[in-house]
């Protein structure tokens, strides 16, 4: 709509400049015969046209302001989108790091479980070995005592 109004005004001005060299505000008394082709407006029509042009200029000014606001809004939205993308990338990196840490922790837990099993086996082995050595030494001592008594 605004483009149409702007084009209409440009066309109107160009036609008036080409067709008639008369001044737009030239006033002539009533009853004057005009020798050249021209547009004739009454004062009321001229005032209405002037008011219409003022409204169009105001509309164009508002349109320009809205375009500036739209550009600012687009820039703001782009900045928000960029920050959101950055935060998503950072979050994904954090998730990746947490998964790496979790894998490292799981491996460490497995190592500790293996070590605990080996420690348990070692303790039982030491207990059995201690019992075996004790029983074996008592039996050997008894055999030595029996051999000494018999000889």
Residues 6+ apart with CB under 8 A from 24: 16
Q: pLDDT tens digit string along 108-118?
A: 889 999 999 99
Give the chain's mean pLDDT. 83
Q: Report pTM.
A: 0.39
> What pLDDT does residue 12 have?
65
Question: Which segments of the chain does DSSP mark as H helices, in order?
Answer: 2-19, 43-150
Percent of the chain with pLDDT strictly greater than 70: 78
Would you kindly state where each structural domain of the chain is located, as residue ranges? 2-112
Whether the predicted pLDDT of 121 surpasses 70: yes
Per-residue confidence band for 2, with pLDDT thresholds at 50, 70 and 90: low
> What pLDDT does residue 54 have?
92
Q: What is the three-class DSSP state of 120?
A: helix
Please tell me which residue, 45 or 64, carries the higher pLDDT value. 64
First-to-last alpha carbon distance for the chain, in angstroms, is 133
Residue 47 half-sphere exposure, CB side, CA atoms within 13 Å? 3
Q: pLDDT tens digit string along 60-104?
A: 999 999 999 999 999 999 999 999 999 999 999 999 999 999 988
């Amino acid at each position: 709509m605004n483009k149409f109004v702007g084009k209409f005004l440009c066309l109107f001005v160009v036609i008036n400049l080409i067709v008639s060299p008369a001044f737009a505000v030239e006033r002539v008394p009533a009853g004057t015969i005009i020798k050249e082709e021209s547009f004739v407006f009454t004062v009321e029509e001229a005032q209405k046209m002037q008011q219409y042009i003022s409204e169009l200029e105001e509309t164009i000014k508002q349109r320009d302001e809205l375009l500036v606001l739209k550009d600012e809004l687009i820039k703001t939205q782009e900045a928000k989108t960029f920050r959101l993308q950055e935060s998503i990338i950072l979050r994904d990196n954090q998730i990746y790091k947490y998964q790496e840490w979790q894998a490292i922790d799981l491996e460490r837990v497995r190592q500790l479980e293996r070590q605990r099993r080996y420690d348990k086996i070692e303790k039982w082995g030491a207990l059995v070995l201690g019992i075996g050595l004790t029983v074996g030494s008592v039996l050997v001592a008894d055999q030595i005592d029996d051999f000494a008594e018999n000889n």
